[in-house]
Structure 1
Amino acid sequence: MLYTIEMSKVNELTIEEISDVLLGIINKFSKEERKKTDYGIDIPLYHSEIRTITEIKEHEGIHISALAKHCGVTKGAISQVIKKLEQKELIIKRRDIRNQSRFLLHLTSKGEIAYSHYLQHNNEFKKLIVDILQNAPIDKVSFLNDFLGEIKKKL
């Protein structure tokens, strides 16, 4: 029985340490998300701006309402981001020829460069994860994937 109690304490400490590490990682990402980042165009962008650029690139010709839905924000919020991106000459709005009251969004060449650098940044992060996990046993990688998936579902 003493062994069970001691193991329980060890597990609680380990779980608390894991929780602290995860919270630390989340906080670090949160801080990074609030900072402006230069994506190769000499114009620092907020996370919301590069995310909007990404959605426009991946859904070329998307209209504002659909973009707001994809980003999980209001039409008013996405309109503000779009206005900033237009001022920075990263996107252009074109009137929809099938619906004259609607505008379709496209990246400019500068927007394409920012998107390309964003992808490069993401690939570097993915490489970091691959480098860390490449020699790990498959059952541990599978557990980690399941564990992180459960956290994501519950947040």
Structure 2
Amino acid sequence: MAAKRSSKEYSNAEAVDIIHQVANLYISTKVPQDYGTGEEYTSVEVHTLKHIADNPGITVTELARHNGKTKGAISQILKKIEKKGLVCREASNGDNKLPLFLTEKGKELDLAHRNYDMVHAGESMNEVRRLYTPEEMNTAFQVLETWLEVRRQVEEERKKNKIKQNYPVNRKD
């Protein structure tokens, strides 16, 4: 199995590359699968459900912000899972923002998905936990959580201020 890495200082580029690799590995499971309900769903669908379950009444705008996606992209995902009977929107006080909630079928899938992740993601996570102390693990996740929060804020500011960044290209002529 994996061996504990030596303590090395990672550059920003190395750290971001590791985060990118983790995200790609996790997201690459676009193939629908059965999480234990007898029907197949994509990882994106079940994780969208999970966030709605954890935040009943969340709006499309809030969901888009959390996922770092456009409202249009989130609306496409929601259209699919609404069609499958997993999510419903409820009108609230004449407000155009329709809060999202899970249906009973959505709640069953959310529970099945959480159980699935405890087993399957738990295998690799348990192996990593054997290599590090609980304090080291907590610190690692605190750092990732903080990085994610800061990254979302930076992206939000860029969008708000329509900031476009030009990056210099070092050419070897």
Taking a change above 3 Å as real, the CA distance of residues 133 and 45 of structure 1, as seen in their structure-2 partners, is: same
Taking a change above 3 Å as real, the CA distance of residues 75 and 42 of structure 1, as seen in their structure-2 partners, is: same
| Structure 1 residue 120 corresponds to structure 2 residue 135 | no
- Please state whether the residue corresponding to 2:118 is helix, strand or coil: helix
- Please state whether the residue corresponding to 1:103 is helix, strand or coil: coil
For 1:48, the aligned partner's letter is V
Deviations 1:25-82 (A, max 9, x none): 85654542x1112223333111211111011001001111111111111111111111
Contact 2:27 2:43 in 1 (8 A): no
Structure 2: gaps of 5 or more residues? 1-17, 148-173
- Please state whether the residue corresponding to 1:92 is helix, strand or coil: strand
What is the rounded CA distance, in whole Å, between the counterparts of 1:29 and 1:56 in structure 2? 20
Contact 2:89 2:98 in 1 (8 A): yes
For 1:69, the aligned partner's letter is R
Q: Which residue matches 1:83?
A: 79
Q: Which residue matches 2:96?
A: 101
What is the rounded CA distance, in whole Å, between the counterparts of 2:133 and 2:61 in structure 1? 42
Q: Which residue matches 2:105?
A: 110
Residue from 57, 64, 68 that aligns with 1:61: 57
Deviations 1:1-36 (A, max 9, x none): xxxxxxxxxxxxxxxxxxxxx8xx85654542x111
What is the rounded CA distance, in whole Å, between the counterparts of 2:51 and 2:132 in structure 1? 35
Q: Which has the higher helix share?
A: 1
Q: Which residue matches 2:41?
A: 45
Structure 1: gaps of 5 or more residues? 1-21
For 1:68, the aligned partner's letter is A
What is the rounded CA distance, in whole Å, between the counterparts of 1:137 and 1:64 in structure 2? 38
Q: Which residue matches 1:6?
A: none
Identity %: 25
Question: What RMSD in Å do the two structures reach over aligned CA positions?
Answer: 3.6
From the CA coordinates, give the structure whose radius of gyration is larger. 1
> Could you tell me the TM-score, scaled by structure 2's length?
0.59
Q: Which residue matches 1:11?
A: none
Contact 1:40 1:113 in 2 (8 A): no
What is the rounded CA distance, in whole Å, between the counterparts of 1:138 and 1:85 in structure 2? 39
> Could you tell me the TM-score, scaled by structure 1's length?
0.65
| Displacement of 1:137 | 6.4
For 1:43, the aligned partner's letter is E
